Amino acid sequence: MEWLPFSTAEWVAIRLSLRVATVAALTSLPLGILVAFVLARKRFPGKALVDAVVHLPLVLPPVVTGYILLMLFGRRAPIGAFLEQTLGIVFSFRWTGAALACAVMGFPLMVRAIRLTMEAIDPRHEQAAQTLGASPLWVFMTVTLPLAFPGVLAGIVLCFAKALGEFGATITFVANIPGETQTIPSAIYTYTQVPGGDEGALRLSVVAALISLCTLVVSELIARRTGRRGVNIE
Amino acid sequence: MISFACKLARPGFDFDVTFQSNAGITALFGPSGAGKSTVIRLLAGLTRPDRGHISIADEVVLDTDRQCDVAPHKRRIGMVFQDAQLLPHLSVRANLGFGRWFTPRDLRRIGFDPVVEVLGIGHLLSRRPDSLSGGERQRVAIGRALLTSPRLLLLDEPLASLDEDRKLEILPFIEHMRDEFGIPTVYVSHAVEEVARLASRVVKIENGHVIATGTPAEVLAPTSLAKAAGRFDALSILSGRVSRYVEDYGVTIVDHPAGEIVVPGRIEPSANAVRVVIRATNVTLAIGRSENVSVRTVLAGRIAHIETDGGPFALATIELKGGEQLKAYATRLAVDRLGLDAGDHIQALVKAVAIDERGISGLHVVDQV
């Protein structure tokens, strides 16, 4: 890799960013599908509240989201302490915390993409499956989920792309520690804070742009291979 | 055996329907918005009534008084939606196998091959639903429902979204299915010919209430001039036996005690009686023999009574030889000029081209050779 003009620290940031974004997108997927399904198909009291909470990271200043995460998942915070004692999972100042911050920030985009495709599915397809003897769980597995696949794919891509670019919540929650929580945006930010860092900032910006572009192209290809048009997310 | 009694109140729609039905096809007949599809959805468990009791094959599937409501997937009812609702991400074969897979092995009474053969869908198995024509889709949907070996089959206007030619293509398959598999069926339609052709029993629904129940002839024929919703809906159902198919002309001759009925298309001779639906506006009345007209179907009978209400029309009820009744509309002017009166012996002329093929049981349409 010596022919590429990256320093070791930059490579570390790129790899960390990819890992954080992948983990964020994939671990939040099951919950994302569940929440999208509930919002698309179920009616229950307090639905508007759930909807609002899911969308909150979209409208809150990212710094505020990061601060809330710090208050909830810090080592001395209620949830953070509980998770450390019972499961040994630590978020604060770890790359796992960066992944959590990215997942929270990307969650509304993921849920929105999946929910829109699920709402577009004719409920009579699901009813037809029911009359053919499929229990609600089987209907979900054999009808709803396969038909919502383009939306699920779009949700993963959007969450992944959001995670690659996430900065405010991450730096507030888990700071900017090289090799642990310094993702590409944090590294670019560090470069812009030191004299002569412009070149490094430019290199990483190009990388960020290329990764985002590749993500979009790959998802488009998969969507075409499944024989359906990609979903439109406004 | 189905017994159905449900009440449902929604803003602007009051639904209170009670009926029983046995084997064969029970038609729910009535105008759009009358509540026919609601009956189907209630039977399938897709809608819940405010109060109700439904039993199918002696098993109670819904009883709101006793908090009993069997989930749709446990009711073992085959449902065919108006627009087929095939699962778009599965092939025809997978669609057909979908319900069968969920049916416990010991309850599978209907085999894959007979269904595919009866419905003529063998060549479609590897296709995707979006590449099928409307008629093909509907046949696959019927097959899919049959393959769950249901205790009851629900057909919700299965022909409504098809054009006239496709309707004629599907009807023989539905008759064949009825005769071959013998599954009690509830058939929703607002087309009189379909109901008259297929059903052994008709439940007529209007504004969410049952207004008549009985055989097709009892329910569909107008009982009086005033009660006929419109003269174009008034009809009679005659039954006869296939005499012969005249290949050169593409018509089938049906023997009726009152005379020969010429119908367009081919009907395979069988032991079953053939039903022919004749609209009252397509019957011409004549006194004495009338050779020099193009009409070939001439039925002999006697006028039972003529009803008039001072308007332009008169509705004549003709007692045909053999006992069946034929309704005929004429203008009051014509009735007076000809001096027609109850007891007169007359000839009823029916134009073969005016007979809707949908109303002839067992009919296969003959395309131009």
At B223 the pLDDT is 67
Q: Is B99's CB within 8 Å of A135's CB?
A: no
Q: Is B78's CB within 8 Å of A143's CB?
A: no
The predicted model scores a pTM of 0.79
At A125 the pLDDT is 93
pLDDT category, B365, cuts 50, 70, 90? Answer: low
At B368 the pLDDT is 45
Ranges B39-48, B53-62, B218-227, B304-313: which has the least confidence: B218-227
The answer to whether residue A234 is domain-embedded is no
pLDDT of residue A103 exceeding 90, the answer is: yes
CA atoms within 13 A on the CB side of B254: 30
> Best interface-test mutation with A: which of B37, B43, B46, B157 has the largest number of A CBs within 10 A?
B46
- Compute the average pLDDT of residues A47-69: 93
Name the DSSP class of B125.
Answer: T
Name the DSSP class of B234.
Answer: -
| Non-local CB neighbours of A106 within 8 Å, separated by 6+ positions | A24, A25, A28, A158, A159, A160, A161, A162, A163, A166
**Listed residue (B284, B285, B280, B241) closest to B263, CA to CA:** B241
Ranges A124-138, B148-162, B211-225, B342-356: which has the least confidence: B211-225
CA gap A164, B335 in Å, rounded: 88
At A231 the pLDDT is 39
Give CATH superfamily name and number for B2-218: P-loop containing nucleotide triphosphate hydrolases (3.40.50.300)
Name the DSSP class of A143.
Answer: I
Q: Is A128's CB within 8 Å of B71's CB?
A: no
Q: Is B81's CB within 8 Å of A138's CB?
A: no
CA gap B159, B150 in Å, rounded: 21
Mean pLDDT of chain A: 88
CA gap A163, A155 in Å, rounded: 12
C-alpha distance from A134 to closest chain B C-alpha (Å) = 6
> In the A/B pair of chains, how many CB contacts fall below 8 A?
61
> Best interface-test mutation with A: which of B48, B87, B130 has the largest number of A CBs within 10 A?
B87
- Compute the average pLDDT of residues A98-121: 94
Question: Which residue blocks in chain A are alpha helix, DSSP H?
Answer: 8-27, 29-41, 47-59, 62-73, 78-86, 95-120, 123-131, 136-139, 145-147, 149-165, 168-174, 184-192, 198-225
Residue B283 carries which side chain, given as an amino acid letter? V
The answer to whether residue A231 is domain-embedded is no
Number of domains in chain A: 1
The residue in chain B having the minimum alpha-carbon distance to the alpha carbon of residue A147 is B89
Residue B52, classed as helix, strand or coil, is strand
Ranges A51-55, B177-181, B287-291: which has the least confidence: B287-291
Sequence spans of domains, chain B: 2-218, 231-364
pLDDT of residue A232 exceeding 60, the answer is: no
CA gap A173, A68 in Å, rounded: 8
pLDDT category, A129, cuts 50, 70, 90? Answer: very high
C-alpha distance from A110 to closest chain B C-alpha (Å) = 23
pLDDT category, A143, cuts 50, 70, 90? Answer: very high
Q: Is B73's CB within 8 Å of A132's CB?
A: yes
Structure tokens at B224: 């009086």
Residue A113, classed as helix, strand or coil, is helix
What was the ipTM of the complex prediction?
Answer: 0.77
Residues of A within 8 A of B86 (CB-CB) are 128
Return the bridge partners of B297, or none: B350
The model's pLDDT over B295-313, given as tens digits with 9 standing for 90+, comes to 888 899 999 989 888 788 8
The answer to whether residue A1 is domain-embedded is no
- Compute the average pLDDT of residues B22-31: 88
C-alpha distance from B79 to closest chain A C-alpha (Å) = 6
Q: Where are the beta strands (DSSP E) in B89-229?
A: 152-156, 185-189, 201-206, 209-214
**Listed residue (B198, B191, B345, B199) closest to B279, CA to CA:** B191
* Core vs surface per residue A144-160: b (16+ CB within 10 A) or e: bebbbbbbbbbbbbbbb
pLDDT of residue A228 exceeding 60, the answer is: no
Which of B46, B73, B86 shows the shortest C-beta gap to A134? B73
At B163 the pLDDT is 80
pLDDT of residue A230 exceeding 70, the answer is: no
pLDDT category, B229, cuts 50, 70, 90? Answer: low
Ranges A8-17, A225-234, B138-147: which has the least confidence: A225-234
Cα B46 to Cα A41, B3, B37, B86, B258, distances in angstroms:
15, 17, 11, 17, 48
Ranges A23-32, A141-150, B124-133, B345-354: which has the least confidence: B345-354
pLDDT of residue B39 exceeding 90, the answer is: yes
Residue A178, classed as helix, strand or coil, is coil
The residue in chain A having the minimum alpha-carbon distance to the alpha carbon of residue B141 is A128
Q: Are B151 and B158 in contact (CB under 8 A)?
A: no
Residue A64 carries which side chain, given as an amino acid letter? V
The answer to whether residue A2 is domain-embedded is no
The answer to whether residue A3 is domain-embedded is no
Ranges A2-16, A60-74, B18-32: which has the least confidence: A2-16
> A98 lies in which domain range?
8-225
Sheet architecture: strand order including B251-256: B259-264, B251-256, B235-246, B274-279
CATH number at residue A65: 1.10.3720.10
- Compute the average pLDDT of residues B254-267: 88
CB of B73 within 8 Å of a chain A CB? The answer is yes
CATH number of B231-364: 2.40.50.100
C-alpha distance from A112 to closest chain B C-alpha (Å) = 22
- Compute the average pLDDT of residues B77-84: 90
Structure tokens at A29: 């997927």
Q: Is B72's CB within 8 Å of A127's CB?
A: yes
What is the phi/psi pair of residue B367, to 5°? -80, 160
pLDDT category, B160, cuts 50, 70, 90? Answer: confident
Which of B73, B76, B87 shows the shortest C-beta gap to A125? B87
CA gap B189, B170 in Å, rounded: 14
C-alpha distance from A143 to closest chain B C-alpha (Å) = 8
pLDDT category, B364, cuts 50, 70, 90? Answer: low
At A84 the pLDDT is 86
Structure tokens at A129: 């499956």
At B162 the pLDDT is 80
